[in-house]
Chains A and B, each alone.
Chain A
Amino acid sequence: MSTTKSEVRPGAYYDSVVLMQLQRKLAALPGVEDAGVVMATPANLELLADSNLLEAAGKAARPEDLLIVVRAASETEASTALSQVDELLKQRSSGGGNQSYRPRSLDAGVRNLPAAEWVLISVPGRYAAKVAHEALDHGKHVFLYSDNVELSDEIALKQRAAELGLLVMGPDCGTAIINGVGLGFANRVRRGPVGLVGASGTGLQALTVGIHNYGGGVSQAIGTGGRDLKAEVGAASMLQGLRYLAADESTKVIVLVSKPPDEQTSARLLTVAQSAGKPVVVAFIGFAAPAEQIGNVHFATGLDSAARIAVALSEDAISPTAVEPRTGYLRGLFAGGTLAYEALNGLQNFLHPLYSNVAIRNSQKLADPLHSQAHTIIDLGEDVFTVGRLHPMMDNDLRLRRLKQESEGPEIGLILLDIVLGEGAHADPASELAPAIEAHCKARPDLEFVALVVGTDDDPQHTSEQIAKLEAAGARIFRETSQAVDYVAARLAVAPSSAAKPLQPFGEPLAAINVGVESFYDSLQAQGAHAVQVDWRPPAGGNESLASILEKMKGK
Chain B
Amino acid sequence: MVDISKANQQAVSKMMEARPILKGVALAKDVIPDMKPNLLLHAGPPISWERMSGPLRGAVIGALIFEGLARNEAEAVALVEKGEIEFDPCHHHDTVGPMAGVTSSSMMVYIIENETHGNKAYSNLNEGYGKVLRYGAFSEEVIAKLRWMNDSMGPLLAKAIEASGGIDIRALLAESLHMGDEGHNRNKAGSIIYTAKLAPWIAKVAADNEVESEVLKALGDNALSVLNPVMAACKAMSASAHGVEGSTMVTTMARNGTDFGMRVSGLGEQWFTAPAEIPDGLYFPSFTSKDANPDIGDSTITETAGIGAFAMAAAPAIVTFVSGTPQDALNATLEMYEITIAEHSHFTIPQLEFRGTPTGIDIRKVVELGITPRVNTGIAHREAGVGQVGAGLVRPPMKIFEDALVAYAQQYNL
Q: A: which residues have CB within 8 A of B?
A: 15, 17-18, 20-21, 23-24, 34-38, 41, 43, 46-48, 51, 53, 69, 92, 95-101, 103-105, 107-108, 111-112, 537, 539-541, 543, 546-547, 549-550, 552-553, 556
Contacts and interface: CB of A to CB of B under 8 A. Distances in A.
- Identify the interface centre among A17, A35, A46, A51: most chain B CB within 10 Å of its CB: A17
B207 interface: no
Interface in B212-248: 221, 246, 248
B288 to A, nearest CB: 9
Contacts of B130: 43, 46-47
Contacts of A21: 282, 320, 324
Interface of B: 1-4, 128-130, 221, 246, 248, 282-286, 317-321, 323-325, 327-328, 330-331, 334-335, 337-338, 364-365, 367-371, 390-391, 402, 405-406, 408-409, 414
Contacts of A547: 368
A20 B4 contact: no
Contact of B283 (A20, A96, A552, A556): A20
Contacts of A112: 334
B325 A104 contact: no
25 contacts: A17-B317, A20-B284, A20-B320, A21-B320, A37-B285, A38-B285, A46-B130, A48-B285, A53-B285, A95-B325, A96-B325, A99-B331, A101-B331, A104-B335, A107-B338, A108-B334, A112-B334, A540-B402, A541-B370, A543-B402, A547-B368, A549-B408, A553-B4, A553-B414, A556-B246
Contacts of B337: 108, 111
B2 A556 contact: yes
Shortest beta-carbon contacts, A-B, top 9: A36-B285, A20-B282, A51-B286, A96-B324, A96-B325, A101-B334, A101-B331, A17-B320, A552-B414
Contacts of B328: 96, 99
Nearest to B343: A111
Contacts of B391: 17, 20
Contact of B338 (A24, A108, A556): A108
Contact of A104 (B129, B371, B405): B371
A20 B282 CA distance: 6
B331 A104 contact: no
Nearest to B328: A96
Given A18-B320, A541-B370, A549 B327 contact: no
B409 A552 contact: yes
A430 B352 CA distance: 84
Nearest to B284: A47
Contact of B285 (A23, A97, A549): A23
A15 to B, nearest CB: 5
Given A36-B284, A540-B370, A546-B367, 16 more contacts: A17-B282, A20-B390, A21-B282, A36-B286, A51-B285, A69-B285, A96-B323, A96-B327, A97-B325, A99-B331, A105-B338, A537-B369, A539-B368, A541-B370, A549-B406, A550-B368
Contacts of A96: 323-325, 327-328
Given A108-B334, A550-B405, A34 B286 contact: yes
B409 A549 contact: yes
Contacts of A34: 285-286
Given A96-B325, A100-B331, A556-B1, A549 B338 contact: no
A43 B331 contact: no
A158 B373 CA distance: 37
Contact of A103 (B129, B317, B334, B368): B334
A98 B327 contact: yes
Contacts of B330: 101
B405 A546 contact: yes
Query: Among the interface residues A34, A105, A112, A553, which one has the most CB atoms of the partner chain B within 10 A?
Result: A553
Query: Which of B248, B282, B318 neighbours the largest number of chain A CB atoms within 10 Å of its CB?
Result: B282
Contacts of A23: 282, 285
A12 B76 CA distance: 45
Contacts of B370: 104, 537, 540-541
Nearest to B398: A541
A105 B336 CA distance: 12
B360 to A, nearest CB: 14
B405 A549 contact: yes
Contact of A550 (B1, B318, B331, B364): B364
Contacts of A540: 367-368, 370, 402
A543 B364 CA distance: 13
Nearest to B321: A17
A24 B327 contact: no
A24 B286 contact: no
Contacts of B286: 34, 36, 51, 53
Contacts of B367: 540, 546, 550
B414 A549 contact: yes
Contacts of A38: 285
Nearest to B366: A540
B297 to A, nearest CB: 19
A43 B129 contact: yes
A23 B284 CA distance: 8
A1 B167 CA distance: 56
Nearest to A36: B285
A242 B80 CA distance: 81
Contact of A101 (B323, B335, B390, B408): B335
Contacts of A37: 285
